Amino acid sequence: MNRRKSYEMNMCEGTILPKMLKFTVPLMLSSILQLLFNAADVVVVGNFAGDDALAAVGCTGSLINLLINLFIGLSVGANVMAARHYGAKQEDELKKSVHTSMLLAIFGGFLLNAVGLLWTEDILRLMNTPESVLPLAALYLRIYFIGMVPNMLYNFGSAILRAIGDTRRPMYFLTLAGIVNVILNLLFVIRFEMGVAGVAIATVISQCISATLIVLCLIKEKGAIRLIPKELKIDKKELIGILRIGLPAGMQGCIFSLSNVIIQKSINGFGNIEVSGSSAASNLEGFVYVSMNAFHQATLSFMSQNFGAGRYDRLKKIAVCGLLCVTVTGLVLGNLEVFFGRSLLGIYTSSEEVIDAGIRRMTYICTVYFLCGVMDVMVGALRGIGHSFVPMVVSLCGVCGIRLVWIFTVFEMEQYHQIQTVYISYPISWFVTFVIHLTSYIIISKKLRSRLLLTKRPG
């Protein structure tokens, strides 16, 4: 390998906690900035375009996640493969992985663009979106999905940089793009009165900026992760590796989003006030989620590099460190949001009814949000050692299965047919899924140690 640059990180040596925090803090900040894209949309429309516009933008989040999560999962596969090659010092394989990943991002972006433009309104109707906000929600989504190619390029490009320990430059790029997004939101909505179309256009422009910066960064890189546009091609072996890790990860993301779409449909049935309150609360929850998810990403990258380098003695320490960090983060941030809930929700809307509806959601979800974090860290640990199918199956049963059964049984009972019953399904599914993931990891780790002992025996 070339001389290690200041942006890179050797995750296979030294104390784990300081390096994990150094890796995680910029990733946490960049994730928060990415979340601000949508939060800025919600704040601006909620204050300057009315409650219908707020509901229109807010109710699209679960649908957006459902459609893009498959390819976000593939970017996880790109991260794991690149980190594994980097840890093993396999330059040729790393180069092939980079070019395969970025071409896959382009293909995925165009496919999502087509799906989002052609079937937006039909899917919104299936979600039981209120008729009063349906036209605005459809308009927002059609414009939003124009930006899918830059969206995918940014996500795959940042996944490659994370594989070598670089979480700072993606943060810098998103800082600039986020500032532009907020300025354009205010300009398009307040000055030109473009409503949801204005915030959607601002989001697409900001995504183009962050994608351009990350592509230029990879083009100007030195060594095996340098992106050379004329060498973009699919390497069969790397593609299989990315798909083996990424497809189950993407399917897991889709499963999560599918259950959230069904839950959103249940929430939609309680009217615009509950939809608006839930949308605002969900945006606030997102800041806690991405802060916890940074430790999932850190665990994934640290496990992958060490697994590729053959440092199996460090894997358990990485998993424990990730679990402790995410628990503290989730408990502190989640409960702070509940404590300051009314003030925070007041940023999104001045309606007391909407604020009350948001508080109802936050009370049931934010206080125990750390359960979602520990669940995700265990997923990262399993994927980092090459097991992506197991967490997909566990999530299918533990998250989607439990929530669907809950909605179609308990929620349908007359005495429990209330919004609080919907929200309770979240922590129940997180806890059960975490326990199964943890059990799976312990079993797989024991088998891995047994294989290592057998290979070390003479003869």
What are the tens digits of pLDDT across the range 418-459?
Answer: 888 888 988 999 999 999 999 999 999 888 777 766 555 444
Query: How many other CB atoms sit within 10 Å of the CB of residue 413?
Result: 9
Give dist(CA 230, CA 110) in Å, integer: 19
Structure tokens at 73: 């999962």
Give dist(CA 194, CA 200) in Å, integer: 10
Query: What's the confidence (pLDDT) of residue 47?
Result: 76
Q: Residue 398: name the closest of 438, 433, 440, 425 by CA.
A: 433
pLDDT per residue, tens digit, the chain (459 aa), is 444 457 788 888 889 999 999 999 998 888 777 776 666 667 787 777 777 777 777 777 767 777 787 788 889 899 999 998 998 889 999 999 999 999 999 999 999 888 888 888 887 887 777 777 888 888 888 999 999 999 999 999 999 999 998 989 988 998 898 889 889 988 998 888 888 889 889 989 999 999 999 999 999 998 889 999 999 999 999 999 999 988 888 887 777 777 777 777 788 877 788 888 888 888 888 889 989 999 999 999 999 999 888 888 899 999 999 999 999 999 999 999 999 999 999 887 888 888 988 899 999 999 999 999 999 999 999 998 888 888 888 888 888 888 888 888 988 887 778 888 888 988 999 999 999 999 999 999 888 777 766 555 444
Asked if 358 and 340 touch (Cβ cutoff 8 Å), the reply is no
Give dist(CA 369, CA 63) in Å, integer: 22
Residue with tokens 């980190």: 83
Query: What's the confidence (pLDDT) of residue 4?
Result: 46
Give dist(CA 196, CA 139) in Å, integer: 7
Q: What is the pTM of this model?
A: 0.79
Q: Residue 333: name the closest of 364, 366, 296 by CA.
A: 366
Structure tokens at 8: 């890179």
Residue with tokens 């995410």: 326
Q: Residue 318: name the closest of 24, 7, 1 by CA.
A: 24
Structure tokens at 282: 């969900």
Query: What's the confidence (pLDDT) of residue 1?
Result: 41
Query: What's the confidence (pLDDT) of residue 329?
Result: 96
In 385-418, which residue ranges form alpha helices assigned H by DSSP?
389-395, 402-408
